Amino acid sequence: MCSLVFIFIHFTFFGGIIMNYLDSFREMISLRGLTDHTLKTYCTYIKAYFQYLDSINIQPEKATWEDMRGFVKYLKDSRNLNDRTINGAISQLRFFTMYVLHKSWDPTQLPMRKFNTYLPYVPSQKDVREFISTIPDLKQKAMVALLYSSGLRIGEVCHLRYEDVSRTDMRIHITHGKNREDRYVPLSKYALDILTQYYFAYDRPRGWLFPQQNCKEKPIDTFFLSRHIHEHERRLGWPERITCHSFRHAYGTHLYENGVDLLTIKVLLGHKSLNSTTIYVHLASPAMSKLVNPLDVLMETSHGTK
């Protein structure tokens, strides 16, 4: 009986401490002006960190670098997380240490992990045309057409408002970009035609362009389209490998294949760094096929001089 009371008191006490830390954590994220999505993401592994500390009977303010390294090792070994995800968890520990505990951060004590990068799958221009033209539902078709024709992120499509689309200037005003920077993107005539059909078929939305079905005051959830994309892949008999972001990558890749320079693509996609845009050099297969191998040039020149 006494041991049960002790356990109850322990969890009540520790739980109260954790809630105080979580409240402070959320407050600092809010003061930093980070998004709700960032708040949700950051809280995921901070909660796991608190649970780990509880399992070794350490309070957060008394945790050492060795304790934090133990948590990262736990994530790697017990939860089988990849290195990119673990780096996200380390970033959350850094934020908690600096902005909640008000302690300095030493990156030599808990370095970021190296990780491999992989080229994403990008559907060909032919596949994109077939995919979009055969989508039966106008809402899904309009959303995919905007993803591809304007290179939008799925969150940007979901947060489009009626007034963001300028039919006169044939452009779209993006106000909910990832980097919190407004930008304009071109509006495709074909995408506008689909959007107009959708508009009249779905009760002429005047607030959110794609509202939730049961609550017109809220934008549609970002996961709505992913499910229907895979459903359409199955309908076409294709393997399930296309995501919402695949169409954004396809936009950048196909622009590069069509001769658009990287700086222009960077502006259209809203990239902060040109490094993010250079991936399309690797993804653009027709551009690669136009390259002349220097060995072939040397050998042809050599044969020509004989």
Positions annotated as catalytic residues are: 153, 178, 245, 248, 271, 280
Q: In angstroms, rounded to a whole number, what is the distance separating the alpha carbons of residues 279 and 255?
A: 13
User: Scanning the structure block, which residue is given the tokens 């993006």?
Assistant: 174
Report the 3 state secondary structure along 88-156: HHHHHHHHHHHHCCCCCCCCCCCCCCCCCCCCCCCCCHHHHHHHHHCCCCHHHHHHHHHHHHHCCCHHH
CA distance 213 to 56: 47
> What is the token pair recorded at 213?
């079905």
Residue type, 91: S
What's the token pair of residue 202? 């779905």
Cβ count within 10 A of residue 150: 24
